[in-house]
Amino acid sequence: MISIRLSKELEEKLELLSKQESMTKSDIVKEALSKYIVDYEKKRKPYELGEELFDQYGSGKGDLSKSYKKKVREKIYEKKSH
């Protein structure tokens, strides 16, 4: 639950809109906040959107991007020797 303080002018506009749209003030605020968050997320860069997911499912081997060719050669050699 959250409580907010509105200016008198904003509260009056919200009250009027609530009556015009036959919606509760809470529903109008929820809808407006949801739209704001969607718009905000559209503005964020792709890196920012995925940043919290990076490194969560890694192998724990920090050198894979540097040593991948060596690892591929080792795998190929293993298959050929069996």
- pLDDT tens digits in sequence order for the chain, 82 residues long: 889 999 999 999 999 999 999 999 999 999 999 999 999 888 878 888 788 888 777 677 777 777 888 888 888 888 777 7
What the block records as the tokens of 26 is 């809470």
CB 13 within 8 A of CB 5: no
pLDDT recorded at residue 52: 84
Whole-number Å distance between alpha carbons of 33 and 35:
5
Taking phi over 0 as left and psi of -120 to 50 as alpha, with beta for the rest, 27 belongs to alpha
